[in-house]
Chain A
């Protein structure tokens, strides 16, 4: 792996200028993307790695946020879209590379940005784009016995009914049926033609049946100074294990108790959220985003509506903006309380700290329930505003929380845990991630900031009305589990600060949605990448519209998914018990990891 060298580089923050510089350096390789509603430029695939290296080393675009593919079936090509950022802040450089659909091969950018690892695997898995030179190009969300690449536009799911919702069978002749009856379980599975399901023990023990999960971890023999040979053993943690925060599996190679290599295995909760999203109309996706990171549904909503609002070119009214920030910052506190509580669970402090944290969380969920109608599946944001105004009493309740209860609760939690010697000895120096690696691996959120990189989307590229508030970007410098705990406490304090300002500045009344609420929105053709600083990291929505009621492409840059790229680095050299703690400190939610 190569890491961006620390050399002073030309500071160009304007993407158009970046494009000009690159066009000069690589004549003929850069074509501007002139489709209406699109931005960025198209790089010819043979020059892709060089262009990327120049971007990283000479122009300082060290942080690759998102990699995804789009299937333009009518034009006969696949397109891979990259969003790269400067870690000092500023807008994205969007560049694309194209390949034919029937022979979709592009050079891998993992050597340039290791953070592309999982994202390229995902693009291979779901879109069938091969990345030449990728060190470990296997399926990631689906299993080896899956037939086809589901995000290709000509792939149809087992319960396929129609290209897009609403389905014609529902109205006006809505004769009810249960999908299960139409396609019974067992008849809805297709295997690849050359693949046999592992149905007996003999085949189960064959490594190939797992499609190389075990090939990816080192299986070597150690020899110590006295010539004593010891085998490495491979251990599966999960998928059914309470420490993995859901159905998540970690394959570790151990030398004694020490971790030599580690591979996260995910996809047990995969439902192809993106395919569902492409069948849905634009508004239908809002409640689906609740189910990504179900702890922070409010901020998921915000990320998606921001992306679509960019396409539609609308802005929410003043009061709606304040309500949005209010809800999103409450969500951040909810998430960090949850994360800290369950980190302590992972450390073995069974549930007392978690329940103290959950008590405060409950009070915030009461606010969500009173406002949005649901404690977790909020479905509260709409294009151009929010669904409904704050009911009577909620504002006062928020004031009580933000000015009295939450500051005290955070102090108490701090007092309770921060100096605990057991926590110190279990967390300090464990799971170290150096800053340059954190950037290279596209880590985001608390994981990135605990490694000493003060990168926060709210500051780096302010969205909504975050430029109005006075807050500090929390940063810690040791990059270990303890700092990832501390940074969450810091961030909760900053969120309380923002909340207090929101509640003081918020207009007492006013419109909460721009225009009339509509169930069918017209979204002009084009692409948009909306990103927000979710509690777990940078959450991005890449939405492509072709002017139809359903999005052509709907991609999610999921922070809990991409933060796992660095997990292997963090765990090497530590003990098995530390894996659980390190995973807890990354703070993943499988609903978002697996999508």
Chain B
């Protein structure tokens, strides 16, 4: 009979339509009020209404979800984990990471801490390579995806202050990754601690290397820690430094352009 196929098809639509009511009665309204029901609504057994009313309702973010990197610092010591080794900047496919390697003002030698760290989030493609290949677990991918701004030209280059987040935040968004990395770190530390006993000759060489990062740690400030974990004085100092550097750079650029025009 002509039209039977259409009727069969409409039967499927009808099934979906009726199912949404049956499901609503079954869950008795709780389906739209309880947040823990979302995996049921959008799960492999989900039936009926499938959609989630973002932003009022939010689906749980899986641990592996990645969006825009951030830098880690230790909660207690405020020590930035990054050593400015530059692997993230080298592996970054769109080359959106800029790092100024830190130098010790007294000796002029490189020190294991970034002076400046920029990520152009307009360019970042959220691939996660920086987090994957960082040997110090210092850069990780975030879960915060709500980054809309009104002006992309001024706000979307994240500097060190904007990028820093405490390790405790990282532990809260990626608990299993964090636990695994901490276990590996503890194991490594354990091996290091054991080694001097076994090989006394290697001990003097290892000791300064271990001491070096500790020496460069900024002393825990007495001021109130802010959300980023640095004291306001420290932030003000760094901001002033960065501003001065930016001005110098711009002046140099202008001078360079002017020279170019004359030539």
| A415 contacts the other chain (CB 8 A) | yes
| A231 contacts the other chain (CB 8 A) | no
Main secondary structure of the interface of B (DSSP, over half): mixed
Which range holds the interface residue count of chain A? 35 or more
Chain A residues within an 8 Å CB radius of B153? 178
Beta-carbon contact of B128 and A519 below 8 Å:
no
Chain A residues within an 8 Å CB radius of B109? none
Contacts A174-B118, A283-B91, A377-B125 hold; do A387 and B5 have CB atoms under 8 A apart? no
- Contact among B6, B91, B95 with A421 in the assembled complex (CB-CB below 8 Å): B6
A146-179 interface (Cβ within 8 A of B): 165-167, 169-176, 178
Chain B: CB-nearest residue to A382: B132
Chain B residues within an 8 Å CB radius of A165? 93, 95
Q: Cα distance A421–B10 when bound, in Å?
A: 12
Which range holds the interface residue count of chain B? 35 or more
Chain B residues within an 8 Å CB radius of A284? 91-93, 129
B79-116 interface (Cβ within 8 A of A): 84, 86-87, 89-93, 95, 97-101, 110, 116
Beta-carbon contact of B64 and A373 below 8 Å:
yes
- Contact among B45, B110, B126, B176 with A374 in the assembled complex (CB-CB below 8 Å): B126
Chain B: CB-nearest residue to A378: B127
Q: Cα distance A388–B180 when bound, in Å?
A: 13
Contacts A373-B64, A519-B129 hold; do A172 and B44 have CB atoms under 8 A apart? no
Q: Shortest distance in angstroms between A282's beta carbon and chain B's nearest beta carbon?
A: 11
Beta-carbon contact of A171 and B65 below 8 Å:
no
Beta-carbon contact of B90 and A519 below 8 Å:
yes
Q: Cα distance A176–B118 when bound, in Å?
A: 7
Stretch at the interface among A44-52, A254-262, A362-370: A362-370
| A220 contacts the other chain (CB 8 A) | no
- Contact among A169, A287, A392, A419 with B93 in the assembled complex (CB-CB below 8 Å): A287
Q: Shortest distance in angstroms between B136's beta carbon and chain A's nearest beta carbon?
A: 14
Chain B residues within an 8 Å CB radius of A201? none
Q: Shortest distance in angstroms between A561's beta carbon and chain B's nearest beta carbon?
A: 23
Beta-carbon contact of B128 and A420 below 8 Å:
no
Beta-carbon contact of B44 and A405 below 8 Å:
yes
| A356 contacts the other chain (CB 8 A) | yes
Q: Cα distance A401–B43 when bound, in Å?
A: 10
- Contact among A166, A366, A374, A391 with B90 in the assembled complex (CB-CB below 8 Å): A166
Contacts A391-B63, A416-B9, A421-B6 hold; do A171 and B86 have CB atoms under 8 A apart? yes
Q: Cα distance A370–B50 when bound, in Å?
A: 19
Beta-carbon contact of A369 and B44 below 8 Å:
no
| B254 contacts the other chain (CB 8 A) | no
Chain B residues within an 8 Å CB radius of A401? 44
Query: Hey, what's the 0/1 contact readout for A365-406 against B, CB within 8 Å counting as 1?
Result: 010011111100101000000011001100001001100110
| B249 contacts the other chain (CB 8 A) | yes
Contacts A171-B101, A178-B157 hold; do A424 and B89 have CB atoms under 8 A apart? no
Beta-carbon contact of A372 and B44 below 8 Å:
no
| B42 contacts the other chain (CB 8 A) | yes
Q: Cα distance A171–B50 when bound, in Å?
A: 47
| A359 contacts the other chain (CB 8 A) | yes
Contacts A280-B93, A370-B62, A519-B129 hold; do A170 and B99 have CB atoms under 8 A apart? yes
| A412 contacts the other chain (CB 8 A) | yes
Chain A residues within an 8 Å CB radius of B169? none
| A517 contacts the other chain (CB 8 A) | yes
Q: Cα distance A133–B128 when bound, in Å?
A: 47
Q: Cα distance A280–B95 when bound, in Å?
A: 10
Query: Hey, what's the 0/1 contact readout for B117-160 against A, CB within 8 Å counting as 1?
Result: 01010100111110011000000010000000000010001000
| B13 contacts the other chain (CB 8 A) | yes
Q: Shortest distance in angstroms between A358's beta carbon and chain B's nearest beta carbon?
A: 9
Q: Cα distance A166–B65 when bound, in Å?
A: 26
Beta-carbon contact of B249 and A369 below 8 Å:
no
- Contact among A166, A359, A370, A519 with B95 in the assembled complex (CB-CB below 8 Å): A166
Beta-carbon contact of B13 and A352 below 8 Å:
yes
Q: Cα distance A424–B63 when bound, in Å?
A: 45
Beta-carbon contact of B97 and A421 below 8 Å:
no
Q: What is the interface of chain A, defined by CB distance below 8 A to chain B?
A: 165-167, 169-176, 178, 280-281, 283-288, 352, 356, 359, 362-363, 366, 369-374, 377, 379, 387-388, 391-392, 397, 400-401, 404-405, 412, 415-424, 517, 519-520
Task: List 10 A-B pairs, Cβ < 8 Å.
Answer: A166-B90, A170-B95, A171-B84, A172-B110, A175-B249, A284-B92, A374-B65, A374-B126, A377-B125, A519-B129
Q: A165-B93, A173-B101, A287-B125 are in contact. List 7 more A-B contacts (CB 8 A).
A: A166-B92, A167-B95, A169-B98, A172-B101, A362-B50, A377-B126, A416-B9
Q: What is the interface of chain B, defined by CB distance below 8 A to chain A?
A: 2-6, 8-9, 12-13, 16, 42-45, 50, 62-66, 84, 86-87, 89-93, 95, 97-101, 110, 116, 118, 120, 122, 125-129, 132-133, 141, 153, 157, 176, 249
